[in-house]
Amino acid sequence: MAVPSGASQDLSTMREVLERARLQQGRDLPAGPLVQAYALTGRTEDALAVLRSTPVLPAVGGGTNEAAGGADTFSAEHFEPLLVGCVDAADDGGLREAVQQMRVRRVLPTASLYGALIGAHIRHGALPRALGVLEHAMGRGVPPPLASVQPLLVMLAVRRRQTWNRGPPPPASLRR
């Protein structure tokens, strides 16, 4: 998730305010926005540290984390910039940890989150990973937005065309 020019300072200020308030008032403030602010400012390790230090809420009737309520609930919106930041930083370990944190906290991926991950993998030329995210999303019945799938389809078409243009190798008798 790209941060528009000029918004970085606002995000840094928001992060600092959240950090100070959280320290002054204990754990009564939501950790989700702090995770999001860290990730949006490129501090994915700090975002992961907040997740590690935040207790996991008990399951409420088998529901999602958001259904549990409370100060330290998380949503896919909080995790999206963290996951994308890990992809952008080529931090596979951080990505795995963030996904595990989502599972433990029962945060369900949204179409937007899947779309953002597909976009991040495409930006880095990781076609197999982008396809894997699309396959996972479709398998869960949460299709990503068409705007995020379209570049993936274009990338597939271009690669297919390149394969066709190469054609079969020349016969051995014509090779030197």
SS (H, E, C) 119-163: HHHHHCCCHHHHHHHHHHHHHCCCCCCHHHHHHHHHHHHHHHHHH
pLDDT tens track for 126-162:
999 999 999 999 999 999 999 999 999 998 888 777 6
State yes or no: pLDDT of 108 exceeds 70. Answer: yes
Are 41 and 11 in contact, with CB atoms under 8 Å apart?
Answer: yes
pLDDT tens track for 1-51:
454 555 556 666 766 666 666 565 555 567 888 899 899 999 999 999 999
Q: What is the pLDDT of residue 45?
A: 95
pTM of the model: 0.73
CA distance 104 to 84: 19
Collapsed DSSP state (helix, strand, coil) of residue 168: coil
